[in-house]
Amino acid sequence: MYDVIVIGAGVTGAAIARELSRYEYAGKTAVLERASDICEGTSKANSGIVHAGHDAEPGTLKARLNVLGNRKMEQLSRELDFSFKKNGTLVLCFDEKDRDKLRRLLEKGQQNGVEGLRIIEVQELRAMEPNISDEAVAALYAPAGGIVCPFGLTIALAENACENGVEFHLNTEVLQIERTQEGYLLKTSKGVFESRIVVNAAGLYADALHNMVSERKLNIIPRKGEYCLFDKSAGSYVSHTIFQLPTRYGKGVLVTPTVHGNLMMGPTAVDIEDKEGTNTTGEGLGDLLKRGGLSIQRVPEEKVITSFAGLRAHESSGDFVIGEVEGAPGFIDVAGIESPGLTCAPAIGEYVAEIVQELLPVPKKADFKVHRQGIRAMADADEGERKELIAKNPAYANIICRCELVTEGEIMDAIHRPLGATTLDGVKRRTRAGMGRCQSGFCAPKTVEILARELGTDVGEITKSGGESRFLTGYDKEDIGSA
């Protein structure tokens, strides 16, 4: 019997797990994840923006948790050692007639408690962003806005929760939920779990789980967002995150530097039916480059290194759905976590932990480990640190990913740390091996070999991201029939 089970190891589930791990539960706590790794759903494919908080309607959960989450992010990035930068955001206004809208956005932000907001005129805007579009007439400047590595944040939260005693069960899909006298029985692809309290942080599938225990149905719509990522040589084209006021072209696409120094453009917003429909489309990518291009002088299209799509979990009500489900005591929904969900995650974690405390009050742990050490990246290290790392493990002198300067030492660390990588994508998200301009052309075979060696298996068993995503299908000539 578990005290608390969280379903879903995305950023929301990981943040909740970390907050729960501060407490001294008598029983066990666990996270169940259907994918082969943490951070495999919406958390891996989003804008990576720490929103200032001027978008959400005042009074909503989104508004409150956004501002709270934004304020927590810097401190959290120091505790958990992930990449975060407060680069500031700009919302561009392209038409004098739209100044009202800009002012309303300012007021909304002020109501929500966003600090430092102000409207800037075109001269100051140009000084801040020399490559901004000539069409821009003014902008809302939010110095509190920032950028974060979404994998870095999610993985750091999960690792820290794991180190503080939360069990993680991967490849474990919840198929059925039954209410029992003491709590809930979760039938999964990996056996049965029983827990007093269940936290439903299942992202796109939170409605399906909710609907197993409640008559009042939730409906999560996958809203697709496509992105283009540009080479680091275009990374300083803008320095702030650039939004657009809604224009006649619809809701704008953002242009932003990433914490790792790339340039990114996205997302589109199209409601679809398939919750696994993370494919990019010709129309989507074309539309994206056209609309993103409105914000800047020129889109460096020749510098695109990859494109991807993510699905936001949009709930029909429009706000986050967080709280104990009516008629299902001990079953807590954390659903509809779309933008600004990444920003909110640290605040959602605390909020949900408080709800759990009300249901099952226990004291805090005396020995909670606040800090988590990330993987030391050779690319960011100075000469002294590099020499030190190599002295400790010569594998740090063996570069595997040439584009991002990732060494064998880092990949070994990524595999052997808590909740370590078991797939190529897992290594990529933890170390950036394969995220550079050649997109793993050279390093994939080497990384696969290291994975197989360190996990004690054959390279033929290594997958890109679990399931049937194996790299190799067999041996040379084995399919040639004997004459």
Partner 1 sequence: MDKKADILIVGGGPAGLAAAVAARKDGIENVLVLERDEELGGILNQCIHNGFGLHTFKEELTGPEYAQRYISQAEALGIPCLLHTIVVDISAEKDKKLVTAMNKKDGLFTIEAKAVVLAMGCRERSRGALNIPGYRPAGIYSAGTAQHYVNIEGRMPGKEVVILGSGDIGLIMARRMTLEGAKVKLVAELMPYSGGLKRNIVQCLEDYNIPLKLSHTVIHIDGKERVKGVTVAEVDNNRKPIPGTEEYISCDTLLLSCGLIPENELSAGLGVALNPVTAGPVVNESLETSVEGVFACGNVLHVHDLVDHVSEESYAAGEHAAAYVKEKRSVRAETVAIKCEGGVRYTVPSLLRVEYMEKEQVVRFRVGNVYRNVFLTVYFNDKIVIKQKKRVLLPGEMEQIKLKKSELEKFSDLKSITISIEEE
Q: What are the residues binding partner 1 (CB under 8 A)?
A: 228-229, 276, 278-282, 284-285, 304-308, 383, 386-387, 390-391, 394-395, 397-399, 402-403, 405, 437-442, 444-445, 459-460, 463-480
The rounded distance, in Å, linking the Cα atoms of 446 and 427 is 12
| Torsion-angle region of 28 (φ positive above 0: left; ψ -120 to 50: alpha; else: beta) | beta
CB of 287 to partner 1, least distance (A): 12
CB 346 within 8 A of CB 72: yes
CB of 480 to partner 1, least distance (A): 4
Length of the chain: 483
Residue type (1 letter), 245: L
Q: What is the DSSP letter of 324?
A: E
Active site annotation includes 51: yes
CB of 308 to partner 1, least distance (A): 7
CB 307 within 8 A of CB 229: yes
The rounded distance, in Å, linking the Cα atoms of 351 and 347 is 6
Burial class (CB in 10 A: 0-12, 13-18, 19+), 154: buried
HSE, CB side, 13 Å, CA atoms: give it for residue 415: 21
Buried/exposed code over 289-314 (b: 16+ C-beta within 10 A; e: otherwise): bebbbbbbeebeeebbbbbbbbbbbb
Q: Taking the CB of residue 433, how many other CB atoms lie within 10 A of it?
A: 30
The rounded distance, in Å, linking the Cα atoms of 82 and 154 is 9
CB 195 within 8 A of CB 4: yes
Give me the catalytic one of 51, 54, 240, 260.
Answer: 51
Q: What is the DSSP letter of 239?
A: S
The rounded distance, in Å, linking the Cα atoms of 452 and 446 is 10
364, two tokens: 């805090």
Buried/exposed code over 444-470 (b: 16+ C-beta within 10 A; e: otherwise): bebbbebbeebeeeeeeebbbbbeeee
The rounded distance, in Å, linking the Cα atoms of 96 and 137 is 7
The rounded distance, in Å, linking the Cα atoms of 10 and 477 is 42
Q: Which residues are catalytic?
A: 51
